[in-house]
Amino acid sequence: MSGAVNSASEKWTYGVRFIPGVIRRASLRTTLTYRLHPRLTAGIEVNPRADDPAGRVSPLFNWLVLSETKKRPALIVGTSSDRIGTPTGQSFYATLSKDLKGGTGIPLAPYAGIAFSTFERRWLPLAGINLRLTRSLSSTISFDGVRVHPIVNFTSGRHVLSFVLAFSSQPGLSYSITF
């Protein structure tokens, strides 16, 4: 979760994720978002394999409330479909994130926060860390409040290809493009 203001000229992002062997809703996901403002994106998530018709389409919203500074972490709030392990539901979250490279020289960016799961009707802790290995390659370990999901990301211009290990054991792929 980046705490930097997005000033790129591209405003749209399309993404698709395929993780066979997980709950049907999470096995295939597509997203389309539009950057309304450098700190605000909104869009739609479609999970065509969801068993519950109400779980097939959900809103996406991401607001960078406070951008990261040299001393202060970023505050991000938003909503998306509930975590990978749920058959339906919406998640509402708030996270703090901070890129530590400026202060430590190490290209690490941890985040922590909280999310409300409408499927489970409870608050869950969120946490993760991103390690930038090279300009194009990074690794993220994400905890969704219940399970850990390691991810390896390869970025080339407007394209991001990710290898996802959902639940630390179910391999999948994700691809996104900005335009």
In a domain, 170, yes or no: no
CB atoms < 10 A from the CB of 30, how many?
A: 14
Q: What is the pLDDT of residues 126-139, one digit of tens each?
A: 999 999 999 999 99
The Cα 56–Cα 73 span in angstroms is 34
At 107, give phi and psi (nearest 5°).
-80, 60
For the chain, how many structural domains are there in total?
A: 1
In whole angstroms, give the CA distance from residue 127 to residue 96.
9
The single-letter code of the amino acid at 83 is: R
pTM over 0.85: yes
Do the domain assignments include residue 3?
no
**Average pLDDT, rounded, for the chain:** 95
Contact between 105 and 119 under an 8 Å Cβ cutoff? The reply is no
pLDDT on residue 44: 98
Q: Is 5 a member of any domain?
A: no
Range of the domain at 111: 12-127
In a domain, 76, yes or no: yes
The answer to whether residue 99 is domain-embedded is yes
146 inside domain: no
Our measurement of the distance from residue 150's CA atom to the centroid of its chain's CA atoms, rounded to an integer in Å, reads 12
Residue-level pLDDT at 154? 98
Residue 27 resides in a domain: yes
Strand partners, 29: 17
Q: How many helices (H) and strands (E) does the chain have?
A: 2, 12
Q: Tell me the sheet residues that pair with 161.
A: 154, 175
Looking at the domain assignment, is residue 121 inside a domain? yes
Q: How confident is the model at residue 6 (pLDDT cuts 50, 70, 90)?
A: confident
Residue pair 13/30 in contact (Cβ under 8 Å)? The answer is: no
